Every structure is written in C-alpha cells, then in structure tokens.
Amino acid sequence: MRTVSVINQKGGVGKTTTTVNLGAAMAQSGCRTCLVDLDPQAHLSLHLGIRADDDTTTVYDLLLDPTLDAREALVQVEPNLSVLPAETDLVAAESDLASEADKHLRLRKVFEQFQDFDVIMLDCPPSLGVLTLNALAASSEVLVPMQAHFLALQGVGKLLETVGMVGRGVNPTLRVGAIALCMHEGHTTLAREVVEDLHTFLDNARDSGMPWSGCRLLEPPVRRNVKLAEAPSFGQSIFAYDSSCNGANDYRRLAMSVLAMWALQPNNTPAMNEGRLEDDAAANVAGDDH
C-alpha cells in the first residue's frame, strides 16, 4: 500500500484538485484508492459532494479516538474510490491533541485498519501543524503540486527542506517522491525557464542523500483548464464531470506516470488510455481552456 501526502505550504496551487483527480484516475486504473481530507476547510470532501453532518464520522473523530471503526467512516464516491471526509471541527485538532503523547501518530493507527487499499492519498492543510505531522508520520512519500512561477520555484527548495526536517522527527523513512506541475501554461517563457530550473535543482540533488534525492518532475504538466475549476461545484471528479476534457486527459496521463514510477501495473489499462491526447505542442498551446 502506497500512502502519499500531497503537500504545499502555498495555497491555490492545485493541491486539492490534484489529490481528487489523480486519485480518481488511479481508481479508474483499477487501484483501490482512498482519499483522506485533512484540511479543516474540507474542500476535498466538498469537491466530491460530501457534506458532513452531526451523524457523520469524519477524520476528526478518528484522530480523537483511533479505536473507532475507521472503515465505517469511508464514503465510496466512484468505483474503487473512497473518501475519509473532514469537517470544520478539524481545526480544533491542534488543541484537542496537544497534551497527547502520541498526537503525531494517531493517523498511522487509523490506517492500520485500511488493509484493502492499494493507494491512500492525503490532502494536507497548508500549515505544518499537528494534522500535517500526522500525515507525514503515516505516509511513505510526499507529492508536491506547484505552479511554474518564480515565487513557487523559490519556495519549493524550502518546502523540501522542511519536509525532510519534519520527516526525520516523525518518520525517518519518508521520501519526497515527485513534483507535479498544475495550471500549467507551457507556451510561456517563464514556465519553460522554471521547468528548466526545477530539472537542474532535482538533478543536483541526485547524490545528496537527502529525502528528495529521488524526487522526479512528473509528466505531463496539468494544463490550466476551466473544466477542472467547474467540477467541484457539481460534487464530481473531472472524470465524472467531463471525461474527455484536457483536464481529464492530463490527470489520466499523470496517473500513468506515477504508476510507472511505482512500477505498478494497472488492472485496466484501456480505462487509463480512453480519450488520451496526443502529446504535441499544438495541444498544449491551443487546448488550455477546453
């Protein structure tokens, strides 16, 4: 079972969008996938049409009491795709767990009940508090979504260093597996320069022995696409909303890259390839908003 924390301390970079749609693409491939909403804004839950009420068991309840049956809290939203939802009360977890000796290990205990999944993906909050520390302690690797902007590039090195430092304290085996480019505008000079700098940064880290020494820049970048912004208002992944749009095609191909990186064989390769775009420059330039 792969457990992946999706992290970026900067908001608005496509973190929740990537967690939902990359997870949904993996589910389409035949991987039994669980998405965990660890953000008190509960945007992942809302993206998939889940609104927690007083009767809903959420990740907040499980963090407070890991002995609860976590499987009963799961909501299946698509074939092979389940969600462990969040609620706004999750913001209180920081204070509620402050005095607990195992406050950073609660989620790891919850995941001991999740033996039926191939992939668990965690949508983490932008802060490095108790929720993100729980995610890092329970994960095998980190995925960093980012935009190809100058400030994002400046921040990614610090983010990787922070993840490495935190990982040493709560999970020494944690590794930064990959960076995914989101809302990408590949025809701009800035984007091309940032991608070049990212490749240089990652190449220079190869023999460093740091937790990100094996990090890869995933292909393809996910193009800016209005359908990806519309899907949450319908409570659906991009595949349920518009399976033929550029956003769906990009996340299908991104999932194939991740599975290849993990050396996993999809159980249903045709589903991954359905509607796949040709990887040419014309599609990248002309199709951004379709």
pLDDT in tens, 134-186: 999 999 999 999 988 777 777 787 788 878 887 788 898 899 999 999 988 87
pLDDT digits (tens, 9 = 90+) for 56-109: 899 999 999 988 999 999 999 999 999 999 998 899 998 999 999 999 999 999
DSSP β-bridge partners for residue 217: 179
Reading the block at residue 57, the tokens are: 């068991």
Q: Are 73 and 61 in contact, with CB atoms under 8 Å apart? A: yes
Q: Residue 221 has what pLDDT?
A: 93
Q: For 13-68, write each residue's pLDDT tens digit.
A: 889 999 999 999 999 999 999 999 999 999 999 999 999 887 889 999 999 998 89
Which pLDDT tens digit goes with each residue over 208-236?
A: 888 888 899 999 999 999 999 999 999 99
More confident site: 242 or 8:
242
Residue 126's pLDDT is what?
86
Neighbours of 156 (CB within 10 A): 24
pTM for the full predicted model: 0.87
Instruction: Give the other-Cβ count within 10 Å of 76's Cβ.
Output: 10
Checking if the pLDDT of 288 tops 90, the result is no
Tell me the residue type at 109: K
Q: 16 with 39: CB under 8 angstroms?
A: yes
**Cβ-based neighbours of 278, under 8 Å, separated by 6 or more:** none
Among 243, 284, 14, CA closest to 144 = 14
Q: What residue ranges define each of the domains in the chain, with the CATH number in brackets?
A: 2-286 (3.40.50.300)
Is it the case that residue 280 has pLDDT exceeding 80? Answer: no
Give CA–CA dist 14/126, Å, rounded. Answer: 12
Q: How far apart are CA 104 and CA 97, in angstroms?
A: 9
Q: Which two structure tokens, joined as six digits, stand for 173?
A: 């085996």
d(CA 83, CA 186): 32
Given a cut of 70, whether residue 132 has pLDDT beyond it is yes
Sheet of 2-6, strand order: 75-78, 81-84, 33-37, 119-123, 2-6, 141-146, 175-181, 216-217
**Phi and psi, residue 144, nearest 5°:** -110, 110
For residue 284, give the amino acid letter. N
| Widest distance between CA atoms in the chain | 56
Mean pLDDT of the 262-279 span: 45
Whose CA is closest to 252, among 265, 235, 239, 262? 239
pLDDT of 218 = 93
Token output for 77: 């939203």
